Every structure is written in C-alpha cells, then in structure tokens.
Amino acid sequence: MRADVYLTVAEAEQAGIGPQVTAVVIDVLRATSTMVAALAAGAKAIYPAVSSEDALKLAQSLGRDDTLLCGERRGLKVEGYDLGNSPREFTPAVVGGKRLVMSTTNGTRAFQVAQAAQRVLVASFLNLGAAAEALGGSTAVAILCAGRLDLFSLEDAVCAGTLLRRVEQITGQGVETNDAGRAALALASATRVTPSFLAETDAGRALAEIGLEDDLELCAQVDRHGIVPEMYERMIRVTDGAGD
C-alpha cells in the first residue's frame, strides 16, 4: 500500500487528489470527531458545506423539518445555527434520525478538496481502528489533515501517523509513504493520546480559551466507535455493515 499524508488542506490541494486513491479526512479538533459522534448517535447523514451561505441554502433545500444546521467559525456556533461543532452536543435525543448540514472553519474544506477521490472516509481518534480496517484492502491512500487555518496541527498529524501504524498492524506489511507520513509515524510513536496532550496543542488551547475544553475529553477517546463514515456524492453516512 502507498499512503501519502498531507499535513494541511493547502498541501493536498496543491498535490491534487485524484480518482485513483482512497482519501481519508482527519480533523481531530473537531469536525471529523463530531461527524463520527453524530453518526454514532443516529444522525441519518451529514452534508459538508464550505461556506455559511452554502450551508444555509442547502439546509433550506433539504427541508428544515428534519434537517439541522451545524457548524462554527473560530470555534463558536454560527449565529442562527441549530448546533455548533462540539461533539458533546450531538446526542441521540438531538440528532437521531436527522440530516445535518455542517460548515466548519477547517474540516469541511478538506472534504471539498478530497471529493474527486474514489472513496472519501472520515477518521478521528474516536473511530481509528474501524478506519484502519476499512483501509486494509486499499492500494493507494491519501490522508488529508485539515490543520488549522492552513497551518500544521499536531493532533491531526498524530492521528494520521497512528492510523498508518494501525494499518501496518492489520495488514502485517509496511506502508510506503511520503516524508509527511514518516514524520506523522514518528510523532505517533512518541505520543500518548490523552486529553492533556490535546490541551497542549494550538487548537486545544484555542478551545479552552472559549470555554470548550470539555470537548478534549471526548475527542481523545481512542476507538470509542466502530463506524466508518464515508462520503457519497457529497453526503456523509455510515458505510454498510459498520456499526458500534
């Protein structure tokens, strides 16, 4: 398997993600963690939107009776939205049976860049093992770290490296990767994933500054869920046969 890592969305955009690869989007704090939590809680599907305007139009076209508008700008819920981007908000009582339109500062843009791929999977620490299993039969993989404002994010790189390591363990073979992938593997080997680790990252500190440090506890839970969300025609849902 060849699995290249892109440490920011801008890097992936410059390289180009083509139809020959399986893409994996990672935004630990917090978009992909929230997507996994929401779908595990019974949400029907998630529609990522890059801009707030696009999100509003999409939600209106889907019908607001069973559609929730979700997302953030600079960590905080967008005014007029139903939910923000805290995975703690996405409980079965709130999102069960609902369609979600989501727009975030970093994560949803990564899905736009990845959309030409053969498959687009959603990964976070919450579903790391399931995501690694889903990649087991792939030959060409591109792992997109959402980063933060087009800059490197340590937590995304560690998640990418841990995912590569899990794939190697599952397949029993080494994974060919690029320099970013080798760096991610080294970071993963040197890091224990805990809320304290996330709290020391730039994104973690930013969340603490706006009173959302409790999100770190949830986002650091490795293998909490056994689902693999996948994007189909710009709609993200759980792949057939996956579940907790």
Read off the pLDDT of residues 21-37 as tens digits, 9 standing for 90 and up: 999 999 999 999 999 99
Q: State the pairing for strand pair 119-123/22-26.
A: parallel
Give the H or E element holding residue 236.
Answer: strand 235-238
CA distance 114 to 108: 10
Residue keyed to tokens 């979600």: 100
Which of 117, 7, 15, 111 has the alpha carbon at shortest distance from 54? 111
pLDDT band at 241; cut points 50, 70, 90: very low
Which residue has 């139009």 as its token pair? 57
Q: What percent of the chain has pLDDT over 70?
A: 98
**Segments forming the whole domain that contains residue 38:** 2-236
- Average pLDDT of span 116-122: 98
- Is the pLDDT at 13 greater than 50, yes or no? yes
What does pLDDT average to over the chain?
95
pLDDT at residue 133, rounded to an integer: 97
pLDDT band at 48 (very low <50, low <70, confident <90, very high): very high
Share of the chain above pLDDT 90, in %: 93
Residue 114 contacts residue 25 (beta carbons within 8 Å): yes
**Could you tell me which residues come within 8 angstroms of residue 92 by beta carbon, excluding any fewer than 6 positions away?**
41, 42
Residue 227 falls inside a structural domain: yes
pLDDT, tens digit (0-9, with 9 covering 90-100), for 171-223: 999 999 999 999 999 999 999 999 999 999 999 999 999 999 999 999 999 99
Half-sphere exposure of 64 (CA within 13 A, CB side): 9
Predicted local distance difference test score (pLDDT) of residue 243: 40
The two structure tokens encoding residue 160:
């990418």
Task: State the average pLDDT over residues 127-139.
Answer: 96
pLDDT of residue 240: 58
Predicted TM-score of the model (pTM): 0.95
pLDDT at 74: 84
Confidence grade of residue 105 (pLDDT, cut at 50, 70, 90):
confident
Distance CA 169, CA 44 (A): 32
Which pLDDT value is given to residue 199?
99
In CATH, what number is assigned to the domain containing residue 60? 3.90.1560.10
| Three-class SS state of 151 | strand
Rounded distance between C-alpha atoms, residue 165 and residue 184, angstroms: 10
Alpha helices in the chain (DSSP H): 9-15, 31-40, 52-62, 92-95, 107-114, 128-135, 154-171, 179-189, 195-199, 202-209, 214-219
Q: Is residue 243 part of a domain?
A: no
In a domain, 70, yes or no: yes
What is the number of structural domains in the chain? 1
Residue 153: band (very low, low, confident or very high) from pLDDT cuts 50, 70, 90? very high
Half-sphere exposure in the Cβ direction for 216 (13 Å, CA) = 22
